[in-house]
Structure 1
């Protein structure tokens, strides 16, 4: 995290320096007398060249920062790979939370687990009336977490749900992907957000930019396969004529 902060500070300092230089050149350009055509032309060329170089450097720096943030997000997701979130567990101050969680795994999912197989088990967020906070569970072994995840469909129709403990970035991407593509076409697996496109392919996305790019691809596919209202309208009279001829032939 400290490395990201340093890179962001460097980026900010560089952007400030570049924009200050650009403003300086622009002021010199505006202060040049109108009759000094040759000097004005040189300033314009210098300013344009500097602007192009500045935008290129900024684009490169932003790309590097984006890659660094993605690497850190991947590391954080690897740290969370033994975690799951369990929702729908009633809040009872007198109950033993690990035992309540294991009871769901055993009685509703048919798994042979014990409280000793959990290393972390606590609720997330602040308590509020009428709301059951999700429970964060960390398993002692990755294989236990995997077994629970693969059996999560056994909870269908119950008050309980199981989800992955995603990073904030991936959680936001997952929520927005469901809004864009629908709940049935988006899911997570091993911390990855997966989207099923209309052409049947499955794509992994990590950032908001990935989601925007995938949305554009989906729109292009839809336009290529959908004749559109104009084509449908032009085909409608022929279709109606064919139906009328078929009806007359039957008579």
Structure 2
């Protein structure tokens, strides 16, 4: 009984921390597929690409709080770009227009927490990427029966697997998933961090 109670308390704390982190990411998106060049101007490049492909000509430098590449540089790798919008309205406009990126080689994704990213990967392996999407940081899935479900935990996922045990690997390889390690889960130049000022300078060079 004590062990069960302790596990419940741990799950509650983990869930609370995850929810708090998710609220902090409401104005974030990840842009992947952008080639890296030396002395690049990440902010200007991101802005031009979004204007071009999404048709959002009203976007300008003031639409962003900041943006930067995610993770350490690795030759040959196109690191995703973290976009932190100045308002939730602008973020919603960009997210709504993301389907226009089809065929461009660019992908917009929500900046999921570590736990939700892991859940997304697990659900994707079973149900396939074409039946999976995220909305406001939550994972949603369309089952083989056509019903739609919000999956907030592994317990909910396991219940769906019991109802729909058929594995769907045929369309999992095409998933534009951006892996985010625990060390990268919070932007290094978020407001209040020690790297914030330095990152802002780098995006404007």
Q: TM-score per shorter chain, which class? A: 0.7 to 0.9
Aligned to 1:38: none
User: For residues 75-105 of structure 1, what are the alpha-carbon distances to aligned partners after superposition, in whole Å with 9 as ceiling and x for unaligned?
Assistant: 1101101000000111122231111001111
**Is the counterpart of residue 165 in structure 1 residue 97 in structure 2?**
no
CA–CA separation in structure 1 for the residues paired with 2:160 and 2:14: 20
Q: Which 4+ runs in 1 deviate beyond 2 A?
A: 206-210
Find the partner of 1:83 among 28, 31, 35: 28
Aligned residue for 1:195, secondary structure, equals strand
Matches within 5 A, 1:45-60: 56-60=1-5
* Structure 2 unpaired stretches of 5+: 167-205
CA–CA separation in structure 2 for the residues paired with 1:216 and 1:120: 43
Q: TM-score, normalised by structure 1?
A: 0.63
Aligned to 1:102: 47
Aligned to 1:136: 82
CA–CA separation in structure 1 for the residues paired with 2:72 and 2:152: 28
Length, aligned pairs only: 165
Higher normalized helix content (fraction of residues): 1
CA–CA separation in structure 2 for the residues paired with 1:95 and 1:115: 16
* Structure 1 unpaired stretches of 5+: 1-55, 223-251
Q: TM-score, normalised by structure 2?
A: 0.77
Question: Greater CA radius of gyration, 1 or 2?
Answer: 1
Aligned to 1:214: 160
